[in-house]
A = this chain, B = another copy of it.
């Protein structure tokens, strides 16, 4: 059923837009073969693999610039690799474009420019792909490959009572940035909208946490819910002190105008920061890892026996409202 004139377009598209993205990965064979080969690993490494799918009008807006769609799609995958402590190497791409798309060449040119920009920024390569047409919206799926420490990748399941809870960067920029992008908050905070559109995966920090962090993930669903994932899979309780949660100057401005937004900071998604736990003795090494990676790291709480997540205000009282907002699977 794929035997139509569109197939001619596929060979051209691959040669023009995608083969240049694969030229520096010897095992991609210029995208001319049925599959790609991953290079040999150094001693003590293993391949780490993650996949994310994005659909237009669900995960991005139909009129979002294709460059940004490409870069965000890559970055959410790189964030997953970072959360496992892996150094990104490359990715495969499955792309479905609407049959009736206006100017698909222009869209593809911009999309592949976005991929090229982030390939250069993160030192990764396109390894293979499939390009098809769809009667539906633009849909893309990226499978990303990284090199992690053999038998030592970071998991969600290693947190234990007595350990500290840490987070990288600042929290809430993604969630409030989405509101700015939607025109629901002042355009003065365009920096937050940019942060929402183009997250910064913590690829330099994640690999440095291998051997230090006991559990880790990237904050994509929201700080409170993602803390819940660690609690669930580690079989313990995470206590977060809200006043310790790091926020940017723009988020601080917005929250001081409308304190109700703070709940959104703690439960909104799309931060792509690393949330992790570690023994108290690792604190100095974690601070050093953050300095080397050029990413701030902040201790925001502790692990206790029990289950679930508790968020405490500056009096040490539980912020109960959050569980109703951020909580989905308890």
Contact = CB atoms under 8 A, between A and B. Distances in A.
Contacts of A47: 37-38, 47
Contacts of A63: none
Interface stretch (A86-94, A162-170, A249-257, A297-305): A86-94
B58 A329 contact: no
B3 A222 contact: yes
Contact of A329 (B8, B34, B59): B8
Contacts of A42: none
Interface in A231-251: 233
A329 B11 contact: yes
B7 A51 contact: no
A34 B157 contact: no
Interface of A: 1-3, 7-8, 11, 27, 29, 32-40, 46-55, 57-60, 80-81, 83-84, 86, 92-96, 127-137, 139, 141, 143, 145-146, 148, 150, 153, 155-157, 178, 217-218, 221-222, 233, 268-269, 328-329
A35 B132 contact: no
Given A51-B128, A96-B53, A3 B221 contact: yes
Nearest to A93: B51
Nearest to A50: B35
Nearest to A134: B55
This chain's copy number in the assembly:
2
B94 A155 contact: no
A328 to B, nearest CB: 5
Contacts of A48: 35-38
12 contacts: A1-B178, A7-B328, A32-B157, A35-B83, A37-B148, A38-B47, A52-B94, A53-B131, A59-B132, A94-B141, A135-B136, A136-B139
Nearest to A99: B58
B46 A38 contact: yes
Nearest to A47: B38
A2 B269 CA distance: 9
Specify which of A8, A84, A146 lies most central, judged by the most chain B CB atoms within 10 Å of its CB: A84
A45 B254 CA distance: 55
B153 A35 contact: yes
A279 B148 CA distance: 41
Nearest to A84: B35
